[in-house]
Amino acid sequence: STIVLATRNTKKVPELRAVLAEQGRTVEIRTLAEYPDAPEVVETEPTFAGNARLKARAVAVHTGLPAVADDSGLCVDELNGMPGVLSARWSGQLGAATGDIDDANLRLVLDQMADVPGERRGARFVAVIAVAIPQEGSADPAEHVVDGTLEGQLLTEPRGANGFGYDPIFVPAGENRTTAELSATEKNAISHRGIALRRLSKRLSEVL
């Protein structure tokens, strides 16, 4: 069978691929690079699940194939769960202007957390993954939604060059290294995305 990864974030693709491959499934994994006309989805929903479903559904309808979408982000306790669903666009125009959106986003979080002591620097990464599966004779794809969480703490200075987004300022609970200092394999083994994907894989083997 074939599935399409419904993401325009090129850093998510290898993480999604690696975990799906690790399950030993014989699926052909396509990306949106093969579907340049796929509709651009505006993330209008207030929840990760809502946005993941929007993205998966749009690509399933466009391609006629099962589509997997990830909506994810960093939720900071001291910021009442923000940036949350806004994680990719937290720095707004500032990030667009500097060209390095990931760096602008994490700098803004560090600024907002500047005077916050260690014991109040708790945060978590959340990933919600939706799969939409086209159904014969119906305009509505079938949907499955799974999630994963990684608890941790925010540093005051970025460390490490792996991963993407907020990885350089996030230290998982029980670790000394940031997720940007972990190898891809180490990150996938514990990450919100890895957890969600392994849950999804189980589900997919029942429905695909």
Q: Which residues are annotated as a binding site for Mg(2+)?
A: 71
Please identify which of the residues 70, 71, 102, 147 carries the catalytic annotation. 71
Q: Which is nearer to ligand ITT, 45 or 78 (CB)?
A: 45
Contact flag: residue 95 with ligand ITT (CB under 6 A): no
Contact indicator for 129, 80 with CB cutoff of 8 Å = no
Q: Which is nearer to ligand ITT, 117 or 174 (CB)?
A: 174
Burial of 68 (0-12, 13-18, 19+ CB in 10 A): buried
Residue 193 CA to residue 195 CA, distance in Å, equals: 5
Q: Which is nearer to ligand ITT, 40 or 136 (CB)?
A: 40
Q: Which of 87, 91, 178, 188 binds ligand ITT (CB under 6 A)?
A: 87
Q: Which of 38, 68, 73, 121 binds ligand ITT (CB under 6 A)?
A: 73
Contact flag: residue 5 with ligand ITT (CB under 6 A): no
71 given a catalytic annotation: yes
Instruction: Dig out the tokens for 21 from the structure.
Output: 């491959």
Contact flag: residue 164 with ligand ITT (CB under 6 A): yes
- Dihedral sign from CA coordinates of 75, 81, 87, 90: negative
Contact flag: residue 7 with ligand ITT (CB under 6 A): yes
Contact flag: residue 88 with ligand ITT (CB under 6 A): yes
Q: Which of 153, 178, 191, 201 binds ligand ITT (CB under 6 A)?
A: 191
Total residues contacting ligand ITT by CB under 6 A comes to 23
Neighbour-count burial for 87-113, b at 16+ CB within 10 Å, e otherwise: bbebbeeebeeeeebbebbbbbbbeeb
Contact flag: residue 147 with ligand ITT (CB under 6 A): no
- Three-state SS string over 34-100 comes to HCCCCCCCCCCCCCHHHHHHHHHHHHHHHHCCCEEEEEEEEEEHHHCCCEHHHHHHCCCHHHHHHCC
DSSP 142: E
- Binding positions for substrate are 7-12, 72, 164-167, 187, 192-193
Residues that bind ligand ITT (CB under 6 A): 7-9, 12, 43, 55, 70-74, 87-88, 105, 125, 163-167, 179, 191, 193
The residues annotated as belonging to the active site are 71
